Amino acid sequence: MKKGLIYAMVCLVLITVLITGLVAGCGTKTANPGVRSEIDTSTIYLDGSDPLTMDPALTGDASSAFYIEEVFGGLLTLVLVPKDVAKEKEGGIRYIDSETLMQMPKNWQQWISKWIVQGEKADAKVAMAPDLCEEIPEPIYNPDGTVSYVFKIRNNAKFHDGREVTAYDFQYSIDRACDSHLRPIPSTTAELYLSDIIEAEDMIRGRIENRVYREKDINEPFDITKVIGDIPGIEVLDKKTLKITIDAPKPYFLWKLTYPTAFVVDKLQVEADIQKYNWTRRPNGTGPFKLTSWERRQKIVLERNKDYHLGMPKTERFIVNLAGGGSPLMNFEENEVYITGIGKTTVGKVRGPEYSSYDPEVYDAELAKLYIETPSVDVYYIGFNSRMKPFDDMKVRQAFAMAIDKEKLAHEYLMDLVLPAHGILPPGVAGYRPDFKGLEFNPDKARQLLKESKYGGPEGLGRLILHVSGKGPSDKLGEKLTWEWKQNLGVEIEIEQTDFGTYIEDLKKGKYALFEMGWIADYPDAEDFLDLKFHGDRSVANNEVRYNNPEVNKLLEMARIESNPEKRVQLYQQAEKIIVEEAPWLPLFHGKNNAVIKPFIKGYYSPPMVIPILRFVEIVK
Amino acid sequence: MIGRLFREIFHRRLAKISLAMILFLFLMAGLGAVFAPYDYNKQEVGPNFQGPSWEHLCGTDDYGRDMFSRILGATGTTAMVSILYIVFGGLIITVLLGIISGYYGGWIDTLIMRTGEILYSIPTLYLVLLIAATLRPGYNNFIYETLGWQWLAQTGFADLVLVFGAISLFAWVVGAKTLRARVLQIRELGYIEAAKALGASDFRIMFHHILPNLLGLIILSITSTMGFVIGTEIALSFLGFGIRPPHPSFGVMFFEMQSIDLISAHPYLLIFPGIVVVLWILSFSLLRISATDIAESRKG
């Protein structure tokens, strides 16, 4: 009996090892991207993550914005067009008119084919377009120095439930976004996108009471024209005409109306259950898609809005898989999702002989044909909170910034899936300088700076924690960085990982001294990066590093009202130089969109920032 | 009594083999701490993603860390958790609670047993997770600020204490019950009464007379829970609530291996740590089987 038992145990161990090996080895299937006859052309499956919120007034992150841009709409929107199709307004703002916008579904496919061929040199530009308004208005310069824009709302603009969109709805929505008593929480993005409107800032800071709704309104018959607007800068001229007045000539202001904070929401729906705040699960928006189902961490279903005023979307429905886990690439190969991302662990499959990392055993030529890399206008960075020790000393921040080899990080560790960042502005924003040097990698100088700082060296820095977002014990990038800091500076740093939702909340309360973060462009303008994140007046929710330099503030304020595009770019570049030198951030890299797309998917092109794109995508067998 | 124990072990092949395996693993852990070829955390000691070679017996991971050293380090962590549990959770807590509640009976017995039952009825992993997650920030602050023992936190020892502490809160229940049952039996035996009559103190009776009879059961109860202890430590570290990087743990290693694409390209990253974890749990399970055998044979 004993003898048999031993043999049984040995066999058990061997079998376990065998099974592990088999599972691991059989993990790869040869890619078979061929068209299968069971593909249902009415539905497209994608990968995605849960939005943090579906309330446009509260949206501040890219995962929420992806859905918000498809389900909701505003006066203006952003589109991707060839450079020669876009026109230019004063201040260098690119835009297209309504006619070009309506022609887009026809022209889209041929534009994308050209861009895919052009690869990195694709001349795709982000431009402004009239969404719920008829045309982008020209600014009216008032004698008192303010500037007004008069928007005519489209006649066929409707909410998903058929109710027509009026200027009153916009008055309601923008007042609501600025409400300092907004439930469930006041918007932290209102100050970024709406504060240029006359007295909107006062409402945001609580100096003006928002009377937009009262409890008793709910029982009276709904009449949107009875809405009370408290922001003088928003005026309803008549049911379909809205006038917005800003405090000075600021050419970039119209970009801000393309961002969710300025989108329109349905007062009737929002106030039907103010206490429960459930309306965001089935929002009555104006966008090309309706959110018909949202099972957290499972899936989101977007059904097309047949009456969408810019043209019915080409595909009936999109189902976004939120569950994650497993292997996205395997799901892709089994046709469970039709578009998915390529990361560090899978990039070997699509990098062909022209890359130095080419590995013929891993390379999958069929899959590589489906791979598309497009630029993303963003920057990933490490933030140093200048109000928390030890980063209140600039020398410490500079030391940390100079102790990381960004070129090696981008080329070797991240395998050229990203671009090393030496400044804040990414390519795709006017003002980006490819030869900008910033703080160069110099570990000796870094150690020197640390010694010269008021903490005297690595021992005096106290307990350091690098905060990162994600699940589980480790963040790969964080481990790499803490290792480099240990090697090059002799500093011991712990890593603490928190799930994204909680992480953002804590970050915006200013709790983190050292953290990892990213910022993707809302619109293609340097203001979106430098002014929104570094101006001293910004609240900690947006300027998480508490940076406040009067010289930089002055440059940013001058740039706000500078109408000459070249001069404006110069002002931003001057500000960027100072900011990078004082190192409130350590810019690491600019990301890219790396995706594989099924050949039967037509009309998908990963945009450089979050803009509505799904209405152009369809399955063509 | 102890001499008899050794004789029992000596006569059983399974016991010898499992003890040998455990000893081997602890040896690996101890020697690993001193003789590991590389620092388990040192990155870029070799090119990334190398398969097993003479230089790197178990290959390298995507940071260029030597897998063999990492496995040795992780074995060390498991060994530490095991020892800490055996000494505090197993020997001290389980034995104390079991003997006390069996010997005194009455309200002490009820208190201890009922508390144990309540704790045991809650799914243990969730509770351990909850405790580790909520206590951690306060606990870390305490170690750092109040005690000023930075080195403790930095070597990862503080995390270890938190982990095995949380586990020990629950793992004692079954063992204590078994011991208590046996104590109830022994308590009625003649020589115990005799000892009492001669004026022996409770303490002396419990630990000098009763305890030696429990040795087999004690070993049984410890080995029964070791699988759970090791598994829970790995699970906690996997979820981010146990040992945190850069300190090594199999949980952290498994977390880093999560992507199937990664494993199919580099299966050795999973196979070697997997084998070692299997050995750990297997050896304690085998020991438990022979311990059951031993304990049962001495009941008569």
**pLDDT tens string A110-161:** 999 999 988 888 899 999 999 999 999 999 999 999 999 999 999 999 999 9
pLDDT of residue A1: 47
Which amino acid, residue B271?
Answer: I
Q: Which residues of B touch A2 (CB under 8 A)?
A: 12-14
Give A572-596 pLDDT, tens digit per residue. Answer: 999 999 999 999 999 999 999 999 9
A296-323: average pLDDT: 94
Of A212-226, A402-416, A567-581, the range with the lowest mean pLDDT is A212-226
A236 strand-pairing partners: A242
Smallest Cα distance from A401 to chain B, Å: 20
Q: Is residue A100 pLDDT above 50, yes or no?
A: yes
B251 and chain A in contact, CB less than 8 A:
yes
> What does the block give as tokens for A285?
């928006």
Q: What is the rounded distance in angstroms from the CA atom of residue A286 to the CA atom of residue A265? A: 8
Using a CB–CB cut-off of 8 Å, the residues of A that contact B are 2, 5-6, 9, 12-13, 16-17, 20-21, 23-28, 326-327, 329-330, 344-346, 348, 362, 463, 471-474, 476, 479-480, 482-483, 492, 494-497
User: With contacts defined as CB-CB under 8 Å, which chain A residues touch B293?
Assistant: none
Helices (H) and strands (E) in chain A, counts: 18, 23
The model's confidence at residue A29, banded by pLDDT at 50, 70 and 90, is very low
Question: In the Cβ-directed half-sphere of A45, how many Cα atoms lie within 13 Å?
Answer: 17
Q: Testing the interface with A: which of B260, B271, B276 to mutate, by most A Cβ within 10 A?
A: B260
Closest by Cα among B102, B94, B296, B104 to B180: B102
Q: How confident is the model at residue A27 (pLDDT cuts 50, 70, 90)?
A: very low
Closest approach of chain B CAs to the CA of A69, in angstroms? 31
Contacts of B41 in chain A (CB under 8 A): 483
For chain A, list the domains and their CATH numbers.
131-272 (3.90.76.10), 378-590 (3.10.105.10)
Among A28, A327, A483, beta carbon nearest to B259:
A327
For A224, which DSSP code?
A: G
Could A329 and B261 be called an inter-chain contact, meaning their C-beta atoms sit closer than 8 Å? yes
**For residue A346, which residues of chain B lie inside 8 Å, CB to CB?**
261
Q: A581: helix, coil or strand?
A: helix
This prediction has a pTM of 0.86
Instruction: Pick A473's closest partner by Cβ from B43, B244, B282.
Output: B244
Q: What is the pLDDT of residue A28?
A: 42
Question: What is the C-alpha separation between B224 and B241, in angstroms, rounded?
Answer: 24
Poorest-pLDDT segment among A86-95, A137-146, A531-540, A604-613: A86-95
Give the pair of three-digit tokens for residue A46: 């994608």
CB–CB contact A483 B63 (8 Å): yes
Best to test chain A binding among B129, B134, B162, B259 (most A CBs inside 10 Å): B259
User: Is the model more confident about A621 or about A400?
Assistant: A400
> What's the pLDDT score for residue A22?
60
At residue A26, the 3 state secondary structure works out as coil
Q: What is the mean pLDDT of residues A555-560?
A: 95
For residue A36, is pLDDT > 50? no
Per-10-residue mean pLDDT of chain B, 300 residues long, equals 70 82 88 78 71 78 83 88 84 86 87 88 80 78 67 68 79 85 83 78 78 81 85 86 80 82 79 90 87 68
Q: What angle do CA A91, A94, A99 make, to 5 degrees?
A: 135
- CB atoms B14 and A2 under 8 Å: yes
> Does the pLDDT at position A543 exceed 80?
yes
Q: Which of A2-11, A230-239, A548-557, B250-259 has the weakest average pLDDT?
A: A2-11
Q: Do A28 and B256 touch (CB under 8 A)?
A: no
| A416 and A78 Cβ atoms separated by less than 8 Å | no
Distances from the Cα of A521 to the Cαs of A375, A479, B250, in angstroms?
Answer: 12, 27, 40
Judged on CB neighbours under 10 Å (0-12, 13-18, 19+), A221 is exposed
With a CB cutoff of 8 Å and minimum separation 6, the contacts of A329 are A340, A342, A346, A349, A596, B261
Task: Give the Cα separation of A82 and A366 in Å (integer).
Answer: 29
Q: Do B271 and A21 touch (CB under 8 A)?
A: yes
CB pairs < 8 Å spanning A and B: 105
With a cut of 60, say whether residue A215 has pLDDT above it. no
* pLDDT value at A552 more than 90: yes
pLDDT at A119: 83
CA distance B101 to chain A (A): 37
What's the mean pLDDT in A478-486? 91
A189-193, A393-397, A569-573, B72-76: the lowest-pLDDT one: B72-76
Q: Per-residue pLDDT for A2 more than 90?
A: no
Residue B298: the pLDDT is 61
User: What does the pLDDT read at residue B198?
Assistant: 80
CB count within 10 Å of CB A508 equals 16
In this predicted structure, the answer to whether residue A4 has a pLDDT above a threshold of 90 is: no
Q: Please, which residues have CB within 8 angstroms of residue B65's CB and are 6 or more apart in sequence?
A: B38, B40, B41, B42, B43, B45
Quickly state the pLDDT bin for A34 (edges 50, 70, 90): very low
Average pLDDT estimate for A317-334: 87
Average pLDDT, chain A: 89
Question: Which helix H or strand E contains B190, and what residues bound it?
Answer: helix B190-197
CA distance A149 to chain B (A): 52
Q: Tell me A136's DSSP state.
A: P
Task: Copy the structure tokens of residue A511.
Answer: 């709790």
Is residue B74 within 8 A of residue B273, CB to CB? The reply is yes
Query: For residues A375 and A122, what is the distance between their CA atoms, to the nearest angstrom?
Result: 9
Q: Which of A296-310, A389-403, B107-121, B165-179 has the lowest mean pLDDT?
A: B165-179
Is this complex scored with an ipTM above 0.90?
no
Rg of chain A taking only CA atoms, in angstroms: 26
CB B238 within 8 A of CB B254: yes
Q: Note whether A2 contacts B13, CB cutoff 8 Å.
A: yes
Distance from CA of A345 to the nearest CA of B (A): 6
Residue-level pLDDT at A216: 54
Q: What letter would DSSP give residue A197?
A: B
